[in-house]
Amino acid sequence: MKEKKILLAHGAGGKLSHDLLKELFLPFLNNEFLSALDDSAIIPAGTFKIAFTTDSYVVKPLFFPGGDIGRLAICGTVNDLAMTGAKPLGLSASFILEEGFPLEALEEVLSSIKEAAKEAGVMVVAGDTKVVEHGAAEGLYITTTGVGIIPEGVDIRSSNARAGDLIIINGPIGDHEIAVLIARGEFSLRGEIKSDSAPLNGLVEAMLEACHDIHVLRDPTRGGLATVLWEIANASGIGVVIEEDKVPIGEEVRVTCDLLGFDPYYLANEGKLVAFIPEKETERVLKRMRAHPLGKETVVIGRVTTENPGRVLLRTKIGGHRLLEPLSGEQFPRIC
């Protein structure tokens, strides 16, 4: 490692985060399950396949329009399981609390955990609490871990994209990150925008009912749509072409990006999924998704090509093209 200390950018989900894993964590901990670096590990257990994942939540502020740290902690981990096609069996939740944290706020967080778990149809079956001195943490951090069972015959992995697949997304990108940044009051902006935070396992279940042969599912969280597509293109050794005029972006997100010089393709989402599906199955899947409350705005945004393996090409509205590279450098820390 070139750096001697941890920088905030190591937590941004971009290239530095990736380097930290590859250069420091994997040399100590690597094994056949961890090395896939997917959102969940897929572990065989007798005749079943189990999905297993964990995630910590340090979002700042704890409460923001459309959600709070509790809702995120449930949805994020449920979604990591769902992106393998797994049905969540149960979650654990660990709380690190700062001395002096108001119980009223904790109650509010627990209430939204309860509500989000109900939406996802999953239970919190184990937990832990620790308290640290005032100043040793900022309010509240949560870690959730999840276990799920992958239905027989389902094989969804980042390395499974194939030529001819169409690429779909279930709605506009960037809402979560912009909502959190506005709530943080960092750039004196006001807006109506809400985080899209939602558990996607129900939507995935509906998709699998329409088509068992979904090749890839990913939720574009930190690093955004661009980073996720780049990771899939590289894991699968295929090329990706995305049409700029097809990618849904809300007007508020677009204007905020214009004002502040952000690129919406790199903004985090917490209730979106990208799916790679064989072209002939797409109509059926789209129909099912659009009938689901979280899939009403589903659209096809691009396709897989055999040309340019490992690259994501964006065809712009004026007919030009640009490459979408993974997120690099410092984006915003603590957005989830």
**The one among 1, 8, 126, 163 contacting other proteins by CB under 8 A:** 8
With contacts defined by CB under 8 A, name the span among 21-29, 81-89, 134-142, 183-191 that binds other proteins: 183-191
Q: How many residues bind other proteins (CB under 8 A)?
A: 38
Query: Interface with other proteins by CB under 8 A: which range of 69-77, 198-206, 291-299, 318-326?
Result: 318-326
Q: To 5 degrees, how large is the angle CA 110–CA 132–CA 144? A: 40
- Give min distance, CB of 324 to other proteins, in A: 9
CB atoms within 10 A of CB 258: 10
CB of 1 to other proteins, least distance (A): 11
Q: Looking at beta carbons only, is 303 or 311 nearer to other proteins?
A: 311
Among 171, 311, 335, 336, binds other proteins (CB under 8 A): 311
HSE, side-chain direction, 13 A CA sphere, residue 293: 7
Entry field: residues in the chain: 336
Give the interface segment with other proteins, choosing from 91-99, 134-142, 199-207, 311-319 (CB under 8 A).
311-319
Q: Give the span between the Cα atoms of 222 and 177, in whole angstroms.
A: 9
* Whether the Cβ atoms of residue 327 and residue 312 lie closer than 8 Å to each other: no
| CA-closest candidate to residue 13, choices 188, 224, 293 | 224
DSSP string for 104-122:
HHHHHHHHHHHHHHHHHT-
Binding map of other proteins across residues 229-258, x = CB under 8 A, - = no contact = ----------------x-----x--xx--x
Q: How far is the CB of 260 from other proteins (least distance, A)?
A: 7
User: Cα 132 to the chain's mean position, in Å?
Assistant: 29
Q: Judged by CB under 8 A, which stretch of 9-17, 88-96, 108-116, 139-147 contacts other proteins?
A: 9-17
Select the residue interacting with other proteins from 125, 163, 291, 323 (CB under 8 A). 323
**Is 9 or 93 the residue whose CB approaches other proteins more closely?**
9
Distance of CA 124 to CAs 43, 142, 252, 308, 332, Å? Answer: 21, 13, 35, 44, 30
List the one residue from 27, 153, 261, 293 that touches other proteins (CB under 8 A): 261
Adjacent-strand bridge partners of 49: 44, 150
In 3-state terms, what secondary structure has residue 234? helix
**Of residues 19 and 205, the one with the C-beta less far from other proteins:** 19
Contact between 192 and other proteins by CB under 8 A: the answer reads: no
Q: Which of 170, 169, 202, 166 is nearest to 82 (CA)?
A: 202
Selected from 1, 7, 163, 291, the binder of other proteins by CB under 8 A is 7
- E strand segments, the chain: 41-45, 48-57, 63-64, 67-68, 87-98, 124-132, 140-150, 165-169, 216-218, 239-243, 274-278, 299-305, 312-315, 321-323
Distance CA 103, CA 17 (A): 34
Is residue 260 a contact point for other proteins (CB under 8 A)?
A: yes
290 binds other proteins (CB under 8 A): no
Q: Which residues sit at the interface with other proteins, rule CB under 8 A?
A: 2, 5-9, 14-16, 19, 186-188, 245, 251, 254-255, 258, 260-261, 263, 308, 311, 313-323, 325, 328-330
